[in-house]
Structure 1
């Protein structure tokens, strides 16, 4: 007869611990926390909420919005749409990386995507203020698309050189971005996030 240590929390406790340690779940929690603060501040002053959470030029005046805007959202529908995509791709990415690399990648890509939206729209005319995790989420999506065996097999089969493969990935990013086109959508941020994710996925940037 053998004896086994009894864990009073059992498998449920183990599962809850794993979920608490999931960077995807942690990011969702930050979404909810920031949205709650946004809602409270918005009741007091919409101008104050804009100044705290929206990335707008000149960025040097409110540098904290570079990061805060990545986790802020313009309404519940905006939050839910980003949360759904985050869940779909986040768990896949976190299986091959560490918690800190996941968060660093998410925040970094999100900030670069937001900056690109403000900068490019500024060059084209009037700069567009931006908020939301779409750029960062598209980065994770790009990483999943580019860093999997199926993509490796397809790119290996195609008779393309290095530059042609880069052009193909950029074309994929542009096509996928256009599919999200709608009034109020930050297309430049989407394209930047997806392109950065595709590039990172090809070099396995997050793999540990």
Structure 2
């Protein structure tokens, strides 16, 4: 696949374009930049921040860390799906993770919560990788876990993955949500195309 056709590279390009726009607007009006790109309650008042916040970043280190993680996970996930499914999945997981972050933290924080960045969506890619590969299929197939046990495993893995990123200012709820949903999506193989599924099901 040419790099220009890679959904991972396309997503990275969107990161850079959005960050350039953020930087320009911050120079003119930091308040305007925040109102356009930062997801904060009530979400219905500024619905455009739902998708834009997924591709926006707080600063250069934030952008670089998410870009590196995106390249690592995205280039692997895109091999089993289409460009459209990849982008739809990434955006949907990112928005869901962002909403979870502002909703849950809003329950416990005296100040209005706010979030931006693609880490929730990237964690969704990592979760998909972990649960949607042939090794995971073989292991879980042999264990024959009950539905409750599988859900418990998902939450334990999501908690452990989230704990590794614990630090001040990190959107832990978004990380947890993205990874957990990614694990469920991986078990269901929702990104896999019919052709890919047929090839995987053929006897060796």
TM over 0.5: yes
Q: 1:152 aligns with which of 96, 116, 137?
A: 137
Aligned with 1:95: secondary structure?
A: helix
Shift of 1:124: 2.0
Q: Tell me which structure has the larger Cα radius of gyration.
A: 1
Distance in 2 (alpha carbons) for counterparts of 1:32 and 1:131: 14
* 1:33-72 to 2 correspondences below 5 Å: 33-72=17-56
Q: TM-score, normalised by structure 1?
A: 0.90
Alignment of 1:22-41 (within 5 A): 22-41=6-25
Residues 1:105 and 2:89 are matched in the alignment: yes
TM-score, normalised by the number of residues in structure 2: 0.91
Aligned to 2:189: 204
The runs of at least 4 aligned residues of structure 1 exceeding 3 Å deviation read none
One of 153, 163, 166 as aligned partner of 2:148: 163
The answer as to 2:172 corresponding to 1:187 is yes
- Name the Cα RMSD after superposition: 1.1
The aligned counterpart of 2:103 is 119
Q: Unaligned regions of 5+ residues in structure 1, if any?
A: 1-14
| 1:139 maps to 2:124 | yes
Quote how far apart the aligned CAs of 1:134 are: 0.3
Tell me the CA shift for residue 159 of structure 1: 4.9
1-structure distance, mates of 2:136, 2:158? 14
- How much does 1:165 deviate? 1.2
**Structure 1 residue 161, shift from structure 2 partner:** 1.3
The number of aligned residues is: 192
The separation in 2 between residues aligned to 1:158 and 1:81, in whole angstroms, is: 36
Deviations 1:115-141 (A, max 9, x none): 000111112233420000000000011
Distance in 2, Cα, partners of 1:59 & 1:178: 27
Cα distance in structure 2, aligned partners of 1:74 and 1:153: 40
Offset, 1:61: 1.4
Q: Deviations over 1:160-206 (max 9, x none)?
A: 21210111111101111011000000000000000110000000000
1:74 aligns with 2:84: no
